[in-house]
Each structure stands twice: as structure tokens, then as C-alpha cells.
Amino acid sequence: MSGYTSQEVARRAGVDPEYVDRLLELGILTPGTGDGFSSGDVLTARWVQSLERAGIPLEGMAAAVQDGSLSFSFMDVAAFDRFPALSDTTFRELSERTGVPMDLLKVVREALGFAEPRPEDRVREDELSVVPAIELQLSNGFRPAVIERWLRVDAESLRRIAETETEWWRSEVERPLLESGMPEGEMLQVQAELGSRMAPLSEQALLAIYHGQQEHAWRQGFAEAVEDALERAGLHRPLHRPPAICFLDITGYTRLTEERGDEAAANLAAKLAGLVRRSSQQHGGRPVKWLGDGVMFYFREPGGAVLAALEMVEGVANHDLPPAHVGVHAGPVVFQDGDYFGRTVNVAARIADYARPGEVVVSEEVVEAADGAPVSFEEIGPVELKGVAGALRLHTAHRDA
């Protein structure tokens, strides 16, 4: 939409009308046909104010616009239509109207990446789109703490996606354009036009991947529900095995970073990520989090964890990476905010610390629960681990011949 007045630009951008007048005086904002302003002008006012608050001088930006080295006209391309304006509703009014607690509404603002709002602050239009889902959850008895965890996990995952996209956009689009000799202002326009074509395709890909992950998670839940129903009816007696937590660490990662620099460490991490993700998924597991010099995994079955661990250690050795060492422990875990907690996790991490380069070391619980997997174990003996009460019977794992 276009044709806003300067007063409407100020209201939708959340800035004072005097600030819009100042941007007009400096030539940062210029009215279009019929003296109207566009949605790109609204975004420009909001972003320029944030730049000024971050320490970038307003007059300097104006001078760059005047001499042609900087332009904000690219914000009128379609890619920027997704960034909404402020609504006329405050957080207090929204809470009173919907019954959604103020604390949950504040988490919505934080989930979008912004600072905690005050009750009198106006709600963004995109935040209004999140509220119906929360209303439905609350009306069906969802606990606010659970909804808050859902919002925070969504936010953290999407933050990482957005930051990764931004980084490769700089390296694959913006930098090559500048290195070709293109002026900064022209580069911003060209990259924005490419972004308008790329954005809907990226969203299409993101949604497809999300739906695939949903099917995977829902299918697992469905299988458990069917199994429980058959068990209650006396038609099925499942063999319950505890899940397993696995830690893989790279030997000498810190030294490598110091010797070869951050870029070499980043390349190593990227190579490792592709290798371990494939191996874990093939054996019923998934990476939970990346830990700088290693990875933590969750596996539904201890036998699958051992097979994946052996495969990953071999793969690391075959891909010119520093040797890996792995620790695996099986037992109950607590799932919260997309992560796993509890004694099982702590013990698995300590076992990984104990393992030597190239070794997969497992606990007695893993050996007992991995029956049927094509692996063999060699007992190390009772071992006392730092931070773990009592000695543990540990074993090294090997593939069956």
C-alpha cells in the first residue's frame, strides 16, 4: 500500500512526527506521487531511527544519500513488504480483549527478536497473527509455561535460520557485487530485487522442510499411541528400551582453531555437521545441539546409538578430520525447550571425556539394551568419572566382523 501521510508514517513506524519531518528535511525520505509515502518509507523511518540510536550519525546518512553513495529506495521492493508496521492496539488492550496474559504477550515480542515491551507499547501487526494460536491453546487447557516454551524454541530455531541466511546472502550476493566495482547504493537495490525473487522460494522450501519434520514427529507419536493401545488390549507386549544420549567430541579442536584460525574451524564444523547428521538419522537419532568441539545426540534405541557412533568415528577418520571420541549412556531423560537434561546426559558427557581418540565408550546400561545390534563390546572395567558418584562399568564398542 502507498499514499500514507507523514503523520501516518510516524504512527506506523513508531516514531515521533517531528522525526519524520527531520528525515524529510535531510532528504532521507522523499514523498512520491501526490506527496504520499510508501510502506518502504515507513520501514526506512523505523530502521534509520534504530541506526541512529546505535550510534550512526543521522547527518552522515543524509550526506551519503545526497552524494549517491547510499539509498534507501530498495526498501520499496516486494521483499520488504513482509516487515509490518505497528498496529493501533497496545499490549494492555490486547491482553484485556483476548484474555491472553501479559507475560505471554511479552514473550511474543521477544520471539520476534525485540526487547520486552511495556503494557502501553503498541503491538506489531505480525504479532497479532501469533495471538489466535495462543488463544486456542489456552482455551483447550494448555499451560502458559508450555506455550512460552513453544514460543521460545520456535524463536531460537528461526533466529538461527535467519542469521544463516543473512550471512550467506552477504558472502554470495552482496560481497561479489561490491567486489565487481558496483557502488554501495546500486548494490543495495540489485540485491533487494534478487531478494524479492528469492524470498517466496525460501519460504516455500522452509515450509516444506517443516512439514517433513512434522510428519516425522507425528508418525513417531502415532506409532507410540498405537503401541500403547495394543498393549492395553493385551495384543502387543513391546520391548521397552531406554533412550540413549551420545556425545561426540573432536580431539584437538581448540588447538586447531588457535593454529589455523576461525575460518578453518568453521569449515571443519560444516564438514562434521553433514557427516554426523546423516549417520545419526540413519540409526534413529538426531543431533540435539552443537557444542563447539562436538555434538550431542538423542537416540530412541541404544543399539542404534552405538552403530551411529562407530560409523561417525570411522567417517571422521576417513574425511581428513581430527580424530573423534564418543561416549554413550542409556537411561531416562527430561525433554524441555528442545533440549534433554538429567543424569543420563551428564554421565554420557563424562564418558565422552574419558574416551580416547578413535574410541566409542559405552556404559553397562547401553550394553544391556543394545542386544541384537551387530556390535560387540570389550569391558574396560569399573571406572570413576569426575562428577559421577560411584564407579561405572564401561566398555569399548566395536563392529562385529
For domain 2-76, give the fold: Multidrug-efflux Transporter Regulator; Chain: A; Domain 2 (1.10.1660)
Q: Between 60 and 238, where is the model more confident? A: 60
Asked whether residue 71 carries a pLDDT value surpassing 50, the answer given is yes
| pLDDT class of 93 with cuts at 50, 70, 90 | very high
Asked whether residue 285 carries a pLDDT value surpassing 80, the answer given is yes
The whole-chain average pLDDT of the chain stands at 88
d(Cα 101, Cα 107) in Å, to the nearest integer? 10
Phi-psi region of 68 (alpha: psi -120 to 50; beta: other; left: phi over 0): left
Cβ contact 148:104 at 8 Å? yes
Mean pLDDT along residues 88-108: 95
Question: Which residue ranges does the chain devote to CATH 3.30.70.1230?
Answer: 244-399
Please report, as a single letter, which amino acid is at residue 337: D
pLDDT of residue 217: 76
pLDDT of residue 237: 60
d(Cα 249, Cα 211) in Å, to the nearest integer? 31
pLDDT of residue 257: 65
Q: What is the pLDDT of residues 305-334, one digit of tens each?
A: 999 999 999 988 887 778 899 999 999 888
Can you read off the three cell numbers belonging to residue 134?
A: 495462543
Mean pLDDT along residues 206-226: 81
* Closest by Cα among 240, 245, 262, 244 to 253: 262
Mean pLDDT along residues 230-244: 75
Mean pLDDT along residues 389-398: 92
- When mean pLDDT is compared across 9-18, 192-201, 260-269, the lowest value belongs to 260-269
pLDDT of residue 104: 94
d(Cα 212, Cα 157) in Å, to the nearest integer? 16
Q: What is the pLDDT of residues 152-189, one digit of tens each?
A: 989 988 998 999 899 889 999 999 999 999 988 889 88
Please, what is the Cα angle at 349 between 346 and 354, to 5 degrees? 125
Chain length of the chain: 401
SS3 readout for the chain = CEEECHHHHHHHHCCCHHHHHHHHHHCCCCCCHHHCEEHHHHHHHHHHHHHHHCCCCHHHHHHHHHCCCCCCHHHHCHHHHHCCCEEEEEHHHHHHHHCCCHHHHHHHHHHCCCCCCCCCCEEEHHHHHHHHHHHHHHHCCCCHHHHHHHHHHHHHHHHHHHHHHHHHHHHHHHHHHHHCCCCHHHHHHHHHHHHHHHHHHHHHHHHHHHHHHHHHHHHHHHHHHHHHHHHHCCCCCCCCCCCEEEEEEECCHHHHHHHHCHHHHHHHHHHHHHHHHHHHHHCCEEEEEECCCEEEEEECCHHHHHHHHHHHHHHHHHCCCCCEEEEEEECCCEEECCEEECHHHHHHHHHHHHCCCCCEEEEHHHHHHCCCCCEEEEEEEEEECCCCCCEEEEEEEEECC
Mean pLDDT along residues 218-229: 75
pLDDT of residue 19: 95
d(Cα 210, Cα 129) in Å, to the nearest integer? 19
Question: Which residue ranges does the chain devote to CATH 1.10.1660.10?
Answer: 2-76
pLDDT of residue 240: 62
pLDDT of residue 254: 65
pLDDT of residue 1: 44
Q: What is the pLDDT of residues 10-61, one digit of tens each?
A: 999 999 999 999 999 999 998 876 668 998 999 999 999 989 988 999 999 9
| pLDDT class of 365 with cuts at 50, 70, 90 | very high
Range with top average pLDDT, 71-80, 101-110, 308-317: 101-110
CATH architecture of 244-399: 2-Layer Sandwich (3.30)
d(Cα 111, Cα 127) in Å, to the nearest integer? 9
